Amino acid sequence: MGLYLRSWRVEGQMSDLYEQDFIGWTEQQALLLRKAADAGSNLGLDWDNLIEEVESLGRSQHRALASQISRVMLHLLKLEYSTAPGPRPGWQTSVGDARKEIAILLRSDPGLKPRLPAIVADEWPDAAKQAAGALRAYGENPAAIVARQRSGPIYTADQILGDWLPERPELP
């Protein structure tokens, strides 16, 4: 009963958190569910699976954003380092499509925006590795990408989210 009353008093705050930071809301709800379960609530709920489901809602939003950020970085790297003319329009289209998906995710959950730097840092190594592999597949030297991979993320959130595209490299 105490948990119910406490939750009821902050209902407006919960609603605001849900609208502004869905992942934060799922984390908070999972914590509250754990506390209710630990307190020995007599509700006939499947606490463990309910908590897991609430947490997974937030993780899926995070994964979706991370996937699109990785996609943008992958194609920005290929655009920046590949001299192959054929695939460039497809890479540019992919960057635009991913940016559109990112914008949708950020509009639906503004609480994801502060998480961008950490997601960029987490996704950078794999994006750089994939880009280097793609350059090898086109018979190009991925040494510059490999060197940049070691230095950490090189694209800013503004470059990832905005209209910026790297200059086309000069042909050797």
Residue 51 has what pLDDT?
Answer: 84
Four-residue CA torsion sign, 21, 23, 28, 30: positive
Q: What is the DSSP letter of 171?
A: P
Residue 23: what pLDDT?
Answer: 83
- pLDDT at residue number 69: 98
Distances (CA, A) of 120 to 7, 72, 156: 35, 10, 9
Give residue 41's pLDDT: 75
The pLDDT value given to residue 111: 87
Q: How far apart are CA 50 and CA 37, in angstroms?
A: 11
Which sequence spans correspond to the domains of the chain? 2-161
> What per-residue confidence (pLDDT) applies to 12?
55
The residue written with tokens 């990112």 in the block is 102
Fold topology of 2-161: Malate Synthase G; Chain: A; Domain 4 (1.20.1220)
- SS3 call for 131: helix
Q: Look up the pTM and report it.
A: 0.77
Spatial separation of the C-alpha atoms in residues 77 and 81, rounded to whole Å: 6
Alpha helix segments (H runs only) across 21-113: 22-38, 47-81, 88-108
The pLDDT value recorded for residue 9 is 40
Q: What is the pLDDT of residue 14?
A: 67
Q: pLDDT tens track of the chain, all 172 residues?
A: 333 333 434 455 666 787 788 888 888 888 888 888 888 877 788 888 888 888 888 788 899 999 999 999 999 999 999 988 889 999 999 999 999 999 999 998 888 999 999 999 999 999 999 999 999 998 999 998 988 888 877 898 999 999 999 987 776 5
What pLDDT was estimated at residue 6? 39
Residue-level pLDDT at 132: 95
Can you give the pLDDT at residue 136?
93
